[in-house]
């Protein structure tokens, strides 16, 4: 069974990252932005896994990359909890989750 | 060694009075000032007799070939001048003892008088230009202090300032002249100046140097463009006017020119251009001042303009390459003009500080000694034969003979006779025109004694040949019948007759010439000039400040920074979250680009 090459993995990961980034920039709903952020993290994790598979040491993958992915997942879980809590608090304070209305940094 | 005492005694006296005695011991202070002046007079007389040798000079600054020292000159010019300064200084001190007796700041007065004696001694004894310049400034200071003695009077304070500032203008030129002389003659020491090199340096350079040095004399001796301070300086106490603004300090300019001319060499001078300028300035000053004097009402102002006129005579003699004649006139003039000023001081004192001659009258009978000595002084000033002024004026007329200056000098002599006898007829004869003049009494001994001594000197000074401050000079004290003496006597008679006809027995001035009365409007012209100059300068400075500094430099830079900041604020700082995210994304991309590709 033919397996995908490293290039294909990296291309896919880049695509995923680009989708995430454009989502962060374009969308106005803060929850969607948050999800897009997660998407970018996932893209980064995918890159790490792909490199781990491609970089064989004595016929075995380099597990350092995969270890890092686990860390990212764990930390991301915690980060999501904190982020969602902030969003809830924000909503309670401002009654909105649209970034167009969150302009208190202006001037 | 004892000559250093001559030099330093007045300084010690000034310091003692200013720092130790003060007003509490003002009687002692005035005595110390007088005694120290008497001591310097005695030393000066002994020095003239050749009792002492000149001490070595003390090196003050020595840089490379340049050497400025504090040393004492040793020639007849300095010796004679010392006699004039100390002699008149002593008599003025004695007169001041009475005149300033009731003054509230007697100690300050005598302290400043001592300071003046020190400074004037320094000028006379200076052996080089740098030392002379230092004391030149010091006499300016002491003159300032003494003119402004009654500084609570606005006119006195203003007059002091005016004198100081006018002198500064002249002194600036003098300083340039000293530097040029040092460059051209190779030395600042009078006895070491190289006259040949001075002339050989290119005639225009030498001429410019002479004129710059002359600038100092213009300021100090109150010649025409800068003469305005001297009449105003009469705001000072009258003995000060006699000592400083008639006999000694104002003559310092002539003394300096004579010393300078002697140092660069007699034969060299004729080749220097611009010497004529000096003679013309002197001649014009003497004529203009004499014209002004004819219409003054203040007894001191008349004498002040007369001083200006006589200083013009001396400067003219210097410009005509006869500095000896100028110095001779300086010497005789010092005695009789000090006499006239002290006489006017006695009159003012007797009339309760009334200075207007039209409020005097009949004083000759009430104050016989003052009146008699005043007439003697007037005769000397107007060159009556066998008085001192006759011989010295003769010398100048001879020097001017055959040039246009001769006619100017004769005209001035006629005017001098006219205004002096106007003063005599109005103030000393006729009826008393004021209550104060009615009750005037003869002054006390301490005041009339100096008058008598000065009156003797006003007659006898030319015959005391040893005292005349001029090197290798013997005055011609014989009476000759020639064109000059006859012309001189004719102009005297014209002036006397005019004054007699116009002013005898008058109680108000029958002539009124506003141009002369208002001093040719020169003061007004200067006031306008200063204002105009100041306005233009202020406009330029305002333009620089407002537009260049404020608008362009400071304002421009702040506006530049502000504009850049506004650009970022308006375009980048939108407050939109995604906008910031985009910018940071772009920033990261740029950072990555530079990390990888450069």
Provide the H-helix boundaries in B431-503: 435-438, 445-460, 483-503
Q: Per-residue pLDDT averaged across B91-111, rounded? A: 89
User: Is the residue at A12 inside a domain?
Assistant: yes
- Give me the residue label for tokens 């007169």: B95
- Per-residue pLDDT of B43-98, as tens digits, reads 988 888 877 777 778 888 888 777 888 888 888 888 889 999 999 999 999 999 98
pLDDT at residue B530 above 60?
yes
How far is CA B444 from its chain centroid?
30
Q: Which residues fall within 8 angstroms of residue B421, CB to CB, at 6 or more apart? A: B378, B382, B495, B496, B499, B500, B503
Does residue A43 fall inside a structural domain?
yes
Angle between helix B404-428 and helix B275-293 axes, rounded to 10 deg: 30
> Nearest CA to CA, how far is B566 from chain A (Å)?
10
For residue A23, what is the nearest residue in chain B, using CA coordinates?
B578
Helix axes B299-319, B252-264, angle to 10 degrees: 10
Split at pLDDT 50, 70, 90, the class of A8 is very high
What pLDDT band is residue B596 in, cutting at 50, 70 and 90? very high
CA distance B86 to B72: 16
CB contact under 8 A, A104 and B575: yes
Note whether B575 contacts A107, CB cutoff 8 Å.
yes
Domains in chain A, number: 1
Q: Which of residues 318-377 of B touch A (CB under 8 A)?
A: none
| Other C-beta atoms lying within 10 Å of the C-beta of residue B521 | 12
What's the whole-model pTM score? 0.77
The pLDDT-based confidence of A89 (bands split at 50, 70, 90) is very high
CA B269, chain centre distance (Å): 25
Which residues from A are below 8 Å from B574, CB to CB? Answer: 103, 106
Say whether residue B508 is in contact with chain A using an 8 A CB cutoff.
no
> Using an 8 Å Cβ cutoff, are B416 and B403 in contact?
no
For residues B343 and B377, is the Cβ–Cβ distance under 8 A? yes
Q: CB–CB of B575 and A106 under 8 A?
A: yes
> In this structure, what DSSP letter does residue B17 have?
I
Residue B356: helix, strand or coil by DSSP? strand
Give the nearest partner residue to B575 out of A24, A26, A105, using CB atoms: A105
Instruction: Inform me whether the pLDDT recorded for B268 exceeds 60.
Output: no
Instruction: State residue A1's pLDDT score.
Output: 56
Q: Which residues of A touch B585 (CB under 8 A)?
A: 21, 25
Query: Would A2 be classed as within a structural domain?
Result: no
DSSP category for residue B139: H
Q: Coil, strand, or helix at residue B21?
A: helix
Best probe of the B interface among A18, A20, A24, A104, by most B CBs < 10 A, is A24
With 80 as the cut, is the pLDDT of residue B477 above it? no
Instruction: Please tell me the distance from the alpha carbon of residue B153 to that of residue B165, in angstroms, as a whole number.
Output: 19
B581 → chain A, closest CA residue: A25
Cβ contact B443:B367 at 8 Å: yes
Among A20, A23, A25, the strongest candidate for a mutation testing the B interface, having the largest count of B CBs within 10 A, is A25
Its sign, for the CA torsion B443, B444, B447, B449, is positive
What is residue B93's predicted lDDT score, i.e. its pLDDT?
Answer: 93
pLDDT for B311 beyond 80: yes
ipTM computed for the complex: 0.76
Q: In the predicted model, is pLDDT for residue A104 greater than 80? A: no
Counting runs of H as helices and runs of E as strands, what totals does chain B give?
Answer: 26, 2
Does residue B575 sit at the A interface (CB-CB below 8 Å)?
yes
Q: Range of A56's domain?
A: 7-94
Residue of B nearest to A101 (CA): B576
Q: Does any CB of chain A come closer than 8 Å to the CB of residue B574?
A: yes
In sequence order, which residues have a C-beta less than 8 Å from that of residue A1 and are 6 or more positions away? none
The position carrying tokens 């203003």 is: B158
Let me know if A2 is exposed, middle or buried by CB neighbors in 10 A (0-12, 13-18, 19+).
Answer: exposed
Chain A partners of B578 at a C-beta cutoff of 8 Å? Answer: 24-28, 33, 99
Residue A74 has pLDDT above 90, yes or no: yes
Q: Are the C-beta atoms of residues A33 and A27 closer than 8 Å to each other? A: yes
What pairs with residue B61 in β-bridges?
B68
Mean of the pLDDT values across residues B19-36? 87
Mutate to test the interface with A, among B572, B574, B577, B587 (most CBs of A within 10 A): B577
Residue B3 has a pLDDT of: 80
Using the beta-carbon criterion (under 8 Å), do A105 and B585 form an inter-chain contact? no
Partners of residue B577 in chain A, C-beta under 8 Å: 33, 99, 102
Do residue A26 and residue B578 have CB atoms under 8 angstroms apart? Answer: yes
Q: What's the distance, Cα to Cα, between the start and end of chain A in Å?
A: 59
pLDDT of B267 strictly over 80:
no
Residue from the list B574, B575, B578 with its beta carbon closest to the beta carbon of A25: B578
What is the predicted pLDDT for the residue at B269?
A: 57
CA-CA distance, B326 to B194, in Å (whole number)? 23
Q: Is residue A104 part of a domain?
A: no
Going by C-alpha positions, the residue among B144, B167, B166, B142 that lies closest to residue B157 is B144
What confidence tier does B516 reach under pLDDT thresholds 50, 70, 90? Answer: confident
- Average pLDDT in the A41-67 region? 89
* Alpha carbon of A107: minimum distance to chain B alpha carbons (Å): 7
| pLDDT beyond 90 at A102 | no
Q: What is the mean pLDDT of residues B391-406?
A: 87
Three-class secondary structure of residue B189 per DSSP: strand
pLDDT digits (tens, 9 = 90+) for B149-198: 999 989 999 999 999 999 998 999 999 999 988 888 888 888 888 777 77
What is the rounded average pLDDT of the residues B467-493? 83
What is the tens place of the pLDDT at every residue in B327-356? 999 999 999 999 999 999 998 888 888 888
Lowest mean pLDDT among B181-195, B294-308, B378-392, B546-560: B181-195
Which member of A21, A99, A107 has the closest CB to residue B577? A99
Q: Is B321 left (phi over 0), alpha (psi -120 to 50) or beta?
A: left
Q: Which of A25, A28, A106 sits opposite B574 (nearest CB)?
A: A106
Identify the pLDDT of residue A15: 95
Share above pLDDT 90 across residues of chain B, in percent, rounded to a whole number: 34
Locate tokens 């030498």: which residue? B206
- Tell me which chain B residue has its CA closest to the CA of residue A28: B578
Contact B582 A25 (CB under 8 A): yes
- Across the interface, which of B573, B576, B578 has its CB nearest the CB of A107? B573
To the nearest 10°, the Cα dihedral for B503, B506, B511, B515?
90
Residue B480: strand, helix, or coil: coil
Residue ranges of B 577-596 with Cβ closer than 8 A to chain A: 577-578, 580-582, 585
Q: What is the pLDDT of residue B210?
A: 87
Non-local (6+) Cβ contacts of B386 within 8 A are: B459, B479
pLDDT score for B323: 85
- Is A41 within a domain? yes
Average pLDDT over residues B458-469: 83
Give the DSSP H or E segment for B120.
helix B106-125
Write the CATH number for A76. 1.10.287.3510
Distances (CA, A) of B446 to A2, B264, B342, B443, B566: 138, 44, 12, 8, 85
Q: Do A100 and B576 touch (CB under 8 A)?
A: yes
Would A66 be classed as within a structural domain?
Answer: yes
Give yes or no for residue B392 having a pLDDT over 70. yes
**Does residue A105 fall inside a structural domain?**
no
State the Cα–Cα distance between residues B28 and B364, nearest whole angstrom. 35
From chain A, pick out residues whose CB is under 8 angstroms from the CB of B573: 105-107
CA closest to A107 among chain B residues:
B573
Specify the higher pLDDT residue, B198 or A41: A41
Q: For residue A39, what pLDDT is reported?
A: 93
pLDDT band for position B224 (50/70/90)?
A: confident
Please enumerate residues of A whose Cβ is less than 8 A from a Cβ of B: 21, 24-28, 33, 99-100, 102-107
Inside any domain, residue A61 = yes
Q: Which of A25, A99, A100 sits opposite B585 (nearest CB)?
A: A25
- In 3D space, the residue among B7, B32, B151, B142 whose CA is nearest the CA of residue B86 turns out to be B7
- Residue A94: predicted pLDDT: 87
Radius of gyration in angstroms for the set of CA atoms belonging to chain B, rounded to a whole number: 30
Contact list, A106 vs chain B (CB under 8 Å): 573-576
In chain A, the residue whose alpha carbon lies closest to the alpha carbon of B569 is A107
Torsional sign, CA B532, B537, B541, B543 = positive
In the prediction, which pLDDT does B428 show? 87
Q: What mean pLDDT is reported for chain B?
A: 87
């Amino acid at each position: 069974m033919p397996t995908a090459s490293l290039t294909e993995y990296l291309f896919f990961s880049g695509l995923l990252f680009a989708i995430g980034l454009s989502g962060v920039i374009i969308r106005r709903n803060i929850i969607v932005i948050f999800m897009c952020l997660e998407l970018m993290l996932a893209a980064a994790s995918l890159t790490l896994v792909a490199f781990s598979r491609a970089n064989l040491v004595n016929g075995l993958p380099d597990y350092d990359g995969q270890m890092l992915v686990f860390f990212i997942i764990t930390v991301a879980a915690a980060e999501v909890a904190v982020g969602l809590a902030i969003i809830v608090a924000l909503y309670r304070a401002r009654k909105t989750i649209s970034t167009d209305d969150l302009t208190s940094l202006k001037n | 060694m004892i000559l250093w005492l001559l030099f330093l005694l007045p300084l010690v006296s000034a310091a003692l009075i200013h720092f130790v005695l003060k007003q509490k011991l003002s009687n002692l202070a005035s005595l110390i000032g007088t005694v120290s002046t008497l001591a310097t007079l005695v030393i000066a007389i002994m020095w003239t007799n050749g009792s002492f040798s000149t001490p070595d000079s003390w090196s003050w600054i020595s840089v490379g070939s340049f050497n400025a020292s504090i040393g004492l000159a040793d020639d007849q010019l300095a010796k004679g001048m010392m006699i004039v300064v100390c002699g008149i200084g002593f008599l003025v001190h004695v007169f001041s003892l009475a005149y300033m007796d009731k003054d509230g700041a007697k100690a300050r007065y005598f302290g400043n008088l001592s300071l003046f004696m020190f400074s004037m001694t320094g000028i006379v004894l200076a052996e080089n230009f740098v030392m002379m310049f230092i004391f030149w400034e010091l006499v300016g200071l002491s003159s300032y202090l003494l003119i402004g003695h009654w500084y609570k009077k606005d006119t006195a304070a203003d007059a002091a300032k005016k004198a100081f500032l006018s002198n500064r203008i002249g002194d600036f030129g003098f300083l340039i002249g000293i530097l040029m002389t040092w460059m051209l003659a190779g030395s600042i020491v009078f006895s070491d100046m190289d006259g040949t090199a001075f002339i050989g340096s290119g005639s225009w350079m030498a001429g410019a140097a002479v004129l710059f040095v002359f600038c100092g004399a213009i300021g100090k001796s109150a010649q025409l463009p800068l003469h305005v301070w001297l009449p105003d300086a009469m705001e000072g106490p009258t003995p000060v006017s006699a000592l400083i603004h008639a006999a000694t300090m104002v003559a310092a300019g002539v003394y300096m020119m004579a010393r300078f001319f002697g140092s660069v060499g007699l034969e060299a001078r004729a080749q220097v251009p611009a010497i004529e300028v000096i003679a013309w300035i002197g001649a014009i000053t003497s004529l203009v001042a004499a014209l002004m004097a004819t219409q003054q009402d203040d007894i001191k102002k008349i004498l002040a303009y007369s001083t200006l006129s006589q200083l013009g005579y001396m400067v003219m003699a210097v410009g005509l390459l006869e500095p000896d004649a100028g110095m001779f006139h300086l010497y005789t003039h010092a005695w009789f003009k000090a006499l006239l000023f002290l006489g006017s001081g006695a009159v003012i004192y007797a009339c309760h500080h009334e200075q207007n001659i039209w409020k005097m009258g009949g004083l000759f009978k009430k104050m016989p000694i003052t009146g008699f000595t005043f007439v003697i002084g007037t005769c000397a000033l107007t060159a009556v034969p066998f008085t001192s002024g006759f011989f010295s004026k003769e010398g100048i007329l001879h020097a001017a003979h055959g040039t246009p200056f001769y006619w100017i000098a004769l005209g001035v002599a006629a005017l001098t006779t006219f205004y002096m006898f106007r003063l005599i007829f109005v103030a000393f004869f006729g009826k008393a025109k004021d209550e104060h003049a009615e009750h005037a009494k003869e002054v006390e001994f301490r005041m009339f004694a100096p008058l008598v001594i000065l009156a003797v000197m006003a007659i006898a000074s030319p015959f005391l040949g040893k005292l005349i401050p001029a090197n290798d000079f013997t005055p011609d004290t014989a009476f000759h019948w020639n064109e000059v003496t006859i012309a001189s006597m004719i102009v005297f008679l014209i002036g006397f007759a005019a004054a007699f006809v116009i002013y005898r027995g008058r109680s108000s001035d029958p002539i009124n010439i506003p141009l002369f009365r208002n001093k040719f409007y020169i003061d007004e012209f200067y006031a306008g000039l200063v204002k105009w100059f100041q306005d233009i300068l202020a406009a330029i400075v305002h333009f620089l400040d407002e537009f260049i500094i404020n608008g362009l430099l400071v304002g421009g830079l702040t506006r530049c920074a502000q504009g850049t900041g506004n650009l970022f604020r308006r375009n980048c700082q939108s407050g939109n979250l995604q906008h910031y995210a985009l910018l940071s994304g772009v920033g990261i991309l740029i950072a990555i680009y530079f990390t990888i590709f450069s």
